[in-house]
Amino acid sequence: MKTTLLVVALALAAGVVIAQERKIELKDGPGRQQVEANCGSCHSLDYIPLNSPFLDGGGWNAEVTKMIKAFGAPISAADAKVIADYLTANYGKS
């Protein structure tokens, strides 16, 4: 009986978590496709708006560089520039 209740409780909790998940919609603009393809392949895109109040152009460039050099993200130099420019233009700190 206890096992059944535990299983039901866990299933309900998992359903609530799944129901609350939503797909982030990035702002439209040049570079959005590269961001979704390169950044979204490794982690949630939720990090972009969450970090936007703190990062300016230099900060976004540093983040892209960190993803490539520290975490081994397979992003070309051309895409890295496009991504950093997109993030700065659309999510950079004013």
- pLDDT tens for 13-60 read 665 545 456 788 999 999 999 999 999 999 999 999 999 999 999 999
> Rounded CA gap, 46 and 25, in Å?
9
Give, as one character, the DSSP assignment of residue 93.
-
User: What domains can you pick out in the chain, each with its CATH number?
Assistant: 25-91 (1.10.760.10)
pLDDT of 12 higher than 90: no
Say if residue 59 is exposed, middle or buried (CB neighbours under 10 Å; 0-12, 13-18, 19+).
middle
Model's pTM, two decimal places? 0.76
More confident site: 28 or 4: 28
- From 45, 27, 46, 28, select the one nearest 37 (Cα to Cα): 45
For residue 89, pLDDT beyond 70: yes
